[in-house]
Structure 1
Amino acid sequence: MPTTRRYLMCAPRYFEVAYSINPWMDPSKPVNHDLVMRQWQTLRDTYVELGHKVEQIDPQPGLPDMVFSANSATVIDGRVLGARFRAEQRAAEADHYRRWFNENGYHNVVMPTCINEAEGDFAWTGRYLLAGTGFRTDPGAHAEAQEVLGVPVVSLHLTDPRYYHLDTALFVLNEDEPNIAYYPEAFSEGSRRVLRRLFPDAVIATAHDAETFGLNAVSDGRNVILPTESTGLAAQLTDRGYEPIFVDISELKKSGGGPKCCTMEIRG
């Protein structure tokens, strides 16, 4: 069953691929600014039409990746753990998001000492916080997240640089009866064993699903927002009783982002 969610998003007013900090980014490929704004607006409108609440933070010039709000905080039961970016090009984003939370009634925001890129590498299942490491988030950030957020953390190791954040290789389908979809080849063998043990009924994505950013999806427990190309994954989800909803993210993909990257969930 779907549950109403609260999301924080940032319009891609200043979005461009001005540098390369992941394998998907190529500054020689121009961004269509009108198209990326329309694509982002469609994503936002989709959430609203589904009954979710969408908050917005003002984009800032000089921060082209600020649109990827999921990377800037993790919020569980009203506790906020901010982000500390590995790439200096994105470092200033963290303080803008910290101020947004302070100005919107969250006065106990903790800024991390270890590098963590928030929901890029942290996925709340309703029972555990799955925490990725290997490319961006430091392993020490996992213990810090457990201490600040007060939830059990399960560490997972990413091994494929194309899937540099956990949210490019895994997403949570349902928090009430926790289940996930993921691409096993993005993880170390030990992490695969952990995922099989915790989620024996998980949806297993194909290489095509992963390459089309199908795992950078957003689920409300029934409706699953995913890229238009991820038809194989959508078929599996339909078979499980979920309702896939396609969105076009062609411009956002130029920076290695998709629906989830643009969507921070505020829990409590």
Structure 2
Amino acid sequence: MSQTTAAAPRTVTSVTADQPRIQQHRRYLMCRPEHFTVSYTINPWMVPANPTDTAVALSQWQTLHDAYRALGHEVQLIDPIEGLPDMVYTANGGFVIDGVAYGPSFRYAERMPEAAAFMDWFSGNRFEVVAPREVNEGEGDFLLVGNTILAGTGFRSTGDSHREVGEIFGREVVSLRLVDPRFYHLDTAISVLDPVEGPGGVERANIAYLPHAFDEQSQAVLAERYPDAIRVDDADGAVFGLNSASDGLNVFISPRAKGFEAQLRERGYNPVLIDLSELLLGGGGIKCCTLELRR
């Protein structure tokens, strides 16, 4: 595991239950799963022999979309493309900070055609697009926590993409190695709960994570940097409980992640339960279907 520092890290304060949770406005990119199916295997969740129901996937996705809108968040859509069933997992389509979109470069051939579609969408919607040189799968493996980028490697994005993302955005990058193939993207093992700055530029960073999804060195880094983080158990991780989205107050999670739900309530968050069990058949959940557009 490598750790690259592109900017001096800021002070991170403890975040406890007695501090008020602050809802932040979000802008998201989503894609209707009109062509959703599982016809190939590129992660342990995908079993083509198991039947999928596109109508159910669409209904569950719509519930998530409508929940975002109901809470005041903006949702923009990219058109689905026939033959690219994984486009619904828009988090892998790029990583966006301050109107700059770092494009994806997918590891598997089945998803490679998505890259051009996402970068065309960014360009057509007035984002500055940076084409990748290294293999990376966007916000699936890059998570912004305050002023720091947590970057995953081990299964999809390469370590060289961590250097590249740091150069593009000029931010501290902390590399974390995933070791459990079920949690092949960083956003399946870490949930960013409070990615906002407090008074005086002091970060109110708060995360939840699944310890055993990482190697020992990465676990040590997370424990040192985020001592007050919520540590989630395997039962909740196995239903993609950590593959969630948060606006700082409302945390959109799987209804099957009962332990994580209780932990969030204890910390003063409002869990919003959204069932995406059909899309989990493709190895994706709430965060996989949600790409944050930071302008």
- TM band (smaller chain): over 0.9
- 1:197 paired with 2:224, answer yes
> One-letter code of the match for 1:161?
P
What's the counterpart of residue 161 of structure 2?
Answer: 141
Question: CA–CA distance in 1 between the matches of 2:180 and 2:258?
Answer: 23
Q: Which one has a bigger Cα radius of gyration?
A: 2
Question: CA–CA distance in 2 between the matches of 1:250 and 1:73?
Answer: 24
How many residue pairs get aligned? The number is 267
- 1:41 paired with 2:41, answer no
What's the counterpart of residue 224 of structure 1?
Answer: 251
What's the counterpart of residue 277 of structure 2?
Answer: 250
Give the TM-score normalised by the residue count of structure 2.
0.90
What's the counterpart of residue 236 of structure 1?
Answer: 263
Instruction: Tell me how far 1:126 sits from its aligned partner.
Output: 1.5
Give the TM-score normalised by the residue count of structure 1.
0.99
Unaligned runs of 5+ in 2: 1-21, 197-203
- CA-atom RMSD, angstroms? 0.6
Aligned residues of 1:127 and 1:178 also touching (Cα < 8 A): no
SS in 2 for 1:101: helix
- 1:4 paired with 2:25, answer yes
Instruction: Tell me how far 1:8 sits from its aligned partner.
Output: 0.2
Instruction: Tell me how far 1:149 sits from its aligned partner.
Output: 1.7
What's the counterpart of residue 179 of structure 1?
Answer: 206
Query: Aligned ranges for residues 63-142 of structure 1 at < 5 Å?
Result: 63-106=84-127, 108-142=128-162
Question: CA–CA distance in 2 between the matches of 1:217 and 1:260?
Answer: 5
**What stretches of structure 1 move > 4 A for 4+ residues in a row?**
none
Instruction: Tell me how far 1:171 sits from its aligned partner.
Output: 1.1
What's the counterpart of residue 18 of structure 2?
Answer: none
Unaligned runs of 5+ in 1: none
- The superposition leaves residues 92-141 of structure 1 with CA deviations (integer Å, 9 ceiling, x where unpaired) of 101101011111112x3011111000111000001210000000000000
What's the counterpart of residue 188 of structure 2?
Answer: 168
Aligned residues of 1:81 and 1:149 also touching (Cα < 8 A): no
SS in 1 for 2:59: helix
Aligned residues of 1:10 and 1:56 also touching (Cα < 8 A): yes
